[in-house]
Chain A
């Protein structure tokens, strides 16, 4: 068994009494790993501890077996794409990336900077300052400075935020390519669909805790398998819900109005297949079928609380 590139062991971190990350443990190896979680879940804190920007209160973080905070030599193998927008004022992309190459002691910083910019599909000879670039281009400049020294670990904090679909696709492709080269690429996101497109390993973080770990498909199945709450509106609601209850398609009904009810469903696929035929069979009209907890927050809440925790 090979040693993981990144290892978190029982890591906790609080800020002024508020727990940001609680007893998180995981290993990460080569390839793309997505860190998924809603805003405020602790993703940025995990990434910042991972590269040594902040120290954990408890537990250990190691990159290639070393503490990235105390052993700055290990940073030679790490590149960070931070979440913040700012880059040095009045700086061209080539100069910004070249600075990163120099500070990483790259032998030929000029050539390395050109190569890194070309790798992210930017023109090294562009004379504009980076703060005149579009957001997508700035993100790619930030990625170029993170890869200019050829690191084995690339950490990107919400790199797809605010990008249009074409730019997102382009960045996702670059991350996939870096992962396919055998590098350890960690990308955080709060958007489920983005993570799906990485086609990667996923760490789900919610309320500072690790809620799920595994292949994206397993996480997606887990999310689909959870109980769902759905609002139904019909002109013959009692008959319809009775039929669904009798057939075990729904496991609970709560009437909120004469023609409206919220039903608890375990197998949402079976429910989708059965609801229209059941209504047709009873000759009643179905005016609303609306999921009430399909947002990410409730998915993460479910993953944290577990099947018995609703």
Chain B
């Protein structure tokens, strides 16, 4: 058996364990609403502003971080919680592969359920390709960074959902909106900065330039995954 087979088995197991009907149907429902609202916005007033609002308020603020939170924390958190993690961890394999598989399985769900609807929403409303490109790049970058953060939180704490919601609702929605001083700790502000940089449209809460935003989001992703992989070696498994 090759390492690839092992990694694929890990990925499929974590994906299957994370994919519950209720979670998936919930996000499908939100995506449908997102597209219906987009259709309505398309026929009313300023389409550029409407598209930016939908990308930010629906995608980058709501569905992408929430999907990453739900599926990311569950990817390792659920098996750790229900005791099945031991069947993955106690094997003669590189334990970093478990974190990589959890990250990949999270993205497998977040991309079609949250990133794709956001891009489609931009496609429905926007008149040119620039806004669609901005939506695609920013949504994908946000999904990757949020997923890495929430996979790690799911691994480190048993109350990952509570911590994640606290971060999204309290920090990102209230504290981080207070200005650049605290905004630098908000992934949302970097994602919005990417939209602004690519679309050349001014966005609220976009404190940083496009390059800075891309570098920070990439760095956060790599750092969170590295911590998760390292933590695999020292963690105590129930």
Which residues from chain A sit less than 8 Å from chain B, CB to CB? 48, 51-55, 70, 72-76, 78, 80, 82, 84-91, 96, 99-100, 102-107, 109, 145
Contact across chains for B6 and A82 when beta carbons are under 8 A apart? no
Cβ contacts A to B, 13 pairs, < 8 Å = A75-B91, A78-B90, A80-B90, A85-B83, A87-B84, A88-B16, A88-B87, A90-B16, A96-B87, A99-B87, A102-B1, A103-B87, A103-B93
Contacts of B79 in A (CB 8 A): 88
Contact across chains for B1 and A107 when beta carbons are under 8 A apart? yes
A53 to B88, CA, bound (A): 12
Given the interface pairs A82-B83, A85-B83, the reply to whether A72 lies near B13 with Cβ below 8 Å is no
Contacts of B84 in A (CB 8 A): 86-88
Contact across chains for A89 and B6 when beta carbons are under 8 A apart? no
Give the Cβ gap from B194 to chain A, nearest Cβ, in Å: 37
Pick the contact of A82 from B86, B94, B95, B236 — CB < 8 Å? B86
A76 to B87, CA, bound (A): 13
A75 to B82, CA, bound (A): 22
A87 to B10, CA, bound (A): 15
Which residues from chain B sit less than 8 Å from chain A, CB to CB? 1, 5-6, 9-10, 13, 16-17, 79, 82-84, 86-95, 233, 236-238
Give the Cβ gap from A205 to chain B, nearest Cβ, in Å: 20
Given the interface pairs A51-B90, A53-B86, A90-B16, the reply to whether A103 lies near B95 with Cβ below 8 Å is no
- Chain B residue at smallest Cβ distance from A15: B236
Give the Cβ gap from A115 to chain B, nearest Cβ, in Å: 16
Query: Knowing that A75-B90, A105-B93, A145-B87 are A-B contacts, what are 17 other residue pairs whose CB atoms are under 8 Å apart, sorted by A's residue number?
Result: A51-B90, A53-B89, A53-B90, A53-B237, A75-B91, A75-B92, A80-B86, A84-B238, A85-B83, A88-B13, A88-B17, A99-B13, A103-B9, A104-B91, A105-B1, A105-B6, A107-B1
Contacts of A74 in B (CB 8 A): 92
Contact across chains for A100 and B87 when beta carbons are under 8 A apart? yes
A195 to B89, CA, bound (A): 29
A99 to B236, CA, bound (A): 22
Given the interface pairs A54-B236, A102-B9, the reply to whether A86 lies near B83 with Cβ below 8 Å is yes
Contact across chains for A103 and B6 when beta carbons are under 8 A apart? yes
A102 to B94, CA, bound (A): 14
A61 to B49, CA, bound (A): 64
Pick the contact of A84 from B83, B88, B91 — CB < 8 Å? B83
In order of increasing CB-CB distance, the 10 nearest A-B pairs are A84-B83, A103-B91, A105-B1, A86-B82, A76-B92, A86-B83, A102-B9, A75-B92, A53-B237, A54-B236
Contact across chains for A109 and B1 when beta carbons are under 8 A apart? yes
Given the interface pairs A53-B236, A88-B17, the reply to whether A103 lies near B88 with Cβ below 8 Å is yes
A84 to B5, CA, bound (A): 27
A76 to B1, CA, bound (A): 13
Give the Cβ gap from B218 to chain A, nearest Cβ, in Å: 30
A106 to B90, CA, bound (A): 15
- Chain B residue at smallest Cβ distance from A106: B1
- Chain B residue at smallest Cβ distance from A87: B84
Given the interface pairs A53-B236, A87-B84, the reply to whether A99 lies near B9 with Cβ below 8 Å is yes
- Chain B residue at smallest Cβ distance from A53: B237
Contacts of A106 in B (CB 8 A): 1
Contacts of B95 in A (CB 8 A): 72
A96 to B93, CA, bound (A): 17
Give the Cβ gap from B64 to chain A, nearest Cβ, in Å: 26
Contacts of A91 in B (CB 8 A): 16
Contacts of B236 in A (CB 8 A): 53-55
Contacts of A87 in B (CB 8 A): 84, 87
Contact across chains for A52 and B6 when beta carbons are under 8 A apart? no
A82 to B82, CA, bound (A): 12
- Chain A residue at smallest Cβ distance from B3: A105
Give the Cβ gap from B99 to chain A, nearest Cβ, in Å: 15
Contacts of B9 in A (CB 8 A): 99, 102-103
A78 to B86, CA, bound (A): 13
Contact across chains for B92 and A105 when beta carbons are under 8 A apart? yes
Given the interface pairs A54-B236, A102-B5, the reply to whether A72 lies near B92 with Cβ below 8 Å is yes
Give the Cβ gap from B164 to chain A, nearest Cβ, in Å: 22
Interface centre among B10, B13, B233 (most CB of A within 10 A): B13
A152 to B213, CA, bound (A): 52
A85 to B84, CA, bound (A): 9
A85 to B10, CA, bound (A): 20
Contacts of A48 in B (CB 8 A): 237
A240 to B79, CA, bound (A): 63
A88 to B91, CA, bound (A): 16
Interface centre among A55, A76, A82, A91 (most CB of B within 10 A): A82
Give the Cβ gap from B232 to chain A, nearest Cβ, in Å: 10
Contact across chains for A73 and B92 when beta carbons are under 8 A apart? yes
Contacts of B237 in A (CB 8 A): 48, 53-54
Give the Cβ gap from B226 to chain A, nearest Cβ, in Å: 19
Contacts of B233 in A (CB 8 A): 70
- Chain A residue at smallest Cβ distance from B89: A53
- Chain B residue at smallest Cβ distance from A80: B90
A72 to B91, CA, bound (A): 7
